[in-house]
Amino acid sequence: MSPRAAWRLETLGFTRVYDYVAGKTDWAAAGLPLEGETASVLKAGDALRGNDVTCRLDETLKVVQERVAAADANVCIVTTANGIVLGRIRGRALRGDPDMTAESAMSSGPSTIRPDTDLAEAVEYYGGSGLKSVLVTDQTGRLMDTLFIDDARKLLGIDT
């Protein structure tokens, strides 16, 4: 909303009026609904499962291994207490020494995309590189979920 419109609403008696400076791009990057031409285009946020396993830097790998096994998963996303993505533990690292910390076992700085990323473009780029998944975060780096390329292909009607 423009500052002028915000001021007009205040003159009409509205008491909670905000001038949202960040704009439409920031709104979309937060995974919030859109209208217009782009509303019908499938986005990364449309293909999320909502079942990531997370852990903190100081947790032992034993705790992480138990959590991952209980969820029948094969990866743990390392986050801050606020959910900011720091790294990922998978593969050989996940099967490592149970006494080591998640921080020692993780791969730092995994690739991420925003929920408003065009789903077809994400599949082409990441799937074309042979990756099976990519983390989806909001504009502050907070984990939203993992986009699995095969799930995205199914949603797009692309044969795998």
133 located within any domain: yes
135 located within any domain: yes
23 located within any domain: no
At 55, phi and psi to the nearest 5?
A: -150, 170
CATH code of residue 114? 3.10.580.10
The per-residue pLDDT of the chain, averaged, comes to: 88
119 located within any domain: yes
Q: pTM score, two decimals? A: 0.79
36 located within any domain: no
Total number of domains in the chain: 1
6 located within any domain: no
Q: Quickly state the pLDDT bin for 160 (edges 50, 70, 90).
A: low
66 located within any domain: yes
84 located within any domain: yes
The per-residue pLDDT for range 58-88, each reduced to its tens digit, is: 999 999 999 999 999 999 999 999 999 999 9
SS3 137: strand
The per-residue pLDDT for range 84-141, each reduced to its tens digit, is: 999 999 999 999 999 999 999 999 989 999 998 999 999 999 999 999 999 999 988 9
Q: Give me the domain span that covers residue 107.
A: 44-156
